[in-house]
Amino acid sequence: MSIRTYIFTLLTGLVLLIAVGLSFQSARFFIDSFGMVIENVMFSIGQQYPEPGKTEQKVLRYHVTTDWDKVPQQVRNYFPTIPEEKNELHTKFIDWIYIQPPKKVYSLIVVEREDKTVFVSHYNENVHAQHEGEQPKDNFLIDPMILIILVGLSVLAIFILVLLYIFKKIALPVESLQQWAKNLKISELNKPCPDFTFKELNGLANLIHENLTSVASSVEREQEFLSYASHELRTPIAVIRSNTALLEKISPAPSDKERQVRDRIQRASLTMKSMTETLLWLSREGKIEMAIESANLGQLVKNTQSELAYLLAGKKVTVNIEVDDSQLSLAVTPSIIVLNNLIRNAFQHTQQGHVDIIQQGCEVTISNVESAQINPKSQKDELGFGLGMKLVEKLTAQFSWPYQITDTDKGYRVAVCFLPDKLLTTQTIKPE
């Protein structure tokens, strides 16, 4: 529910309740006032009549008597016994609805005088016909009750119209502010804020503009840092890897200790290479133009697994790889980065057990099962997914690759489908 609808409903309901209450109160006052007038007239008649020597008399339209049995039978039908309340008007309305006069009216008052009890009564069994006969045919007269209701409805209608006008004057600037904030782009932050009529809205617009400007500056600085850092690191990493390869050619048979040192250098260079690629991709925003190449996805999986095998050194972990010979049109570099981070994550979070890597067509499923008494979730909290998994989420969303992570009893299962632009050939071979 919008604020406009909520406030409009609340205020309209409140005013409707007030209008109904006041209309009802006005009608009650009208009826009570009318009754008080009739009561005063009948009480005055009871104080003066019947004249001395008479027990019954007709005064105006009222019947006055000191004998209860002489009270008109029509009145006694509705007042079978003498009312206990003295000097008070008793009235019976027959077939009366609130918005029009009753069809029949029976009134009675018992007046206590010093020496006698006087019964003053009046009845009218054809109120509607009498009321219509007293009015000229060319006159249009609205019943007072209907008039009260019409006045209440008119006040309510006027209030609603005024409320709608106020909402229109207020809602338009608010909606304009909403659309402006929704469509505000970083490239438009150098433009001044529009005028939204009210100073509160203008203050809110300036606050949004300032906060977005601050956020944009922070994001720009972070992107520049990631871009510069990744580019600057690529050169020394390349030097390390090339010199490591050169060292292998110069001395292909080193001692055991030297072999361990070389392996550590090689693993560190591979890790740094993966990290710089991750940082470089994280620094990119918007639609990334990437060349689509024909590639064997199974071979990419095997190459990535082979490069990351050092992560399992010293662990009792069995790796099961099943791939086919599907030739797909892929963005190769993003695909390698995704595979690298997913397989790295599975290897890091498995200390004892097995890792299954299955590739069928464009879909790759990686699951790890930890057989040691280690909580895989505590390992996840300790090691964390870090930049790598953040990059996986970004790349899979960028290229619209379906991606899903599922918790299992003793590990995790990750599935990603590298949807190609065009499936070139698919040849299934026996899994390894």
Tell me the C-alpha distance between 236 and 309, whole Å. 23
355 pLDDT band, cuts 50/70/90, is very high
Least confident of 31-45, 64-78, 125-139, 281-295: 125-139
Least confident of 165-179, 279-293, 349-363: 279-293
Whole-prediction pTM:
0.44
Judged against a pLDDT cut of 90, whether residue 363 lies above it is answered with yes
| Coil/strand/helix, residue 171 | helix
Question: Which comes out higher in pLDDT, residue 375 or 155?
Answer: 155
pLDDT value at residue 156: 78
User: DSSP H helical segments within 294-359, as ranges?
Assistant: 297-307, 332-348
422 pLDDT band, cuts 50/70/90, is very low
Please report, for residues 27, 151, 163, 336, the alpha-carbon distance to residue 158 in angstroms, rounded to integers and kept in the order given.
21, 11, 8, 69
Chain centre to alpha carbon of residue 396:
28
Query: To which residue do tokens 């632009």 refer?
Result: 421
Judged against a pLDDT cut of 90, whether residue 148 lies above it is answered with no
Tell me the C-alpha distance between 426 and 18, whole Å. 77
Domains and CATH numbers, the chain: 3-152 (no CATH), 199-279 (1.10.287), 290-425 (3.30.565.10)
Query: To which residue do tokens 């995704």 refer?
Result: 338
Tell me the C-alpha distance between 295 and 423, whole Å. 11
Judged against a pLDDT cut of 90, whether residue 359 lies above it is answered with yes
Rounded (10°) angle between helices 256-282 and 199-250: 150
Contact predicate 92/20, CB 8 Å: no
Q: Which run of H or of E encompasses 137? A: none
The overall average pLDDT reported for the chain is: 78
At residue 329, φ and ψ (nearest 5 deg) are -90, 110
315 pLDDT band, cuts 50/70/90, is confident
Chain centre to alpha carbon of residue 51:
81
Side chain identity, residue 28: R
| Coil/strand/helix, residue 79 | coil
Side chain identity, residue 91: T
Q: Which run of H or of E encompasses 257? A: helix 256-282
253-257, 319-323, 426-430: which is most confident? 319-323
Tell me the C-alpha distance between 185 and 216, whole Å. 10
Assigned token pair, 366: 């990686």
Tell me the C-alpha distance between 334 and 338, whole Å. 6
Query: To which residue do tokens 């009046």 refer?
Result: 122
Write the pLDDT tens digit of every residue in 272-306.
776 676 666 666 655 555 668 888 999 989 988 98
Edge-to-edge strands, sheet with 403-408:
316-322, 352-360, 363-370, 411-417, 403-408
The mean per-residue pLDDT over the stretch 304-332 comes to: 87
pLDDT value at residue 198: 78
Side chain identity, residue 250: I
| Coil/strand/helix, residue 345 | helix
| Closest-CA residue to 222 (of 274, 279, 289) | 279
380 pLDDT band, cuts 50/70/90, is very low
Question: Which comes out higher in pLDDT, residue 123 or 32?
Answer: 123
Q: Which residues pair with 365 in a beta bridge?
A: 358, 415
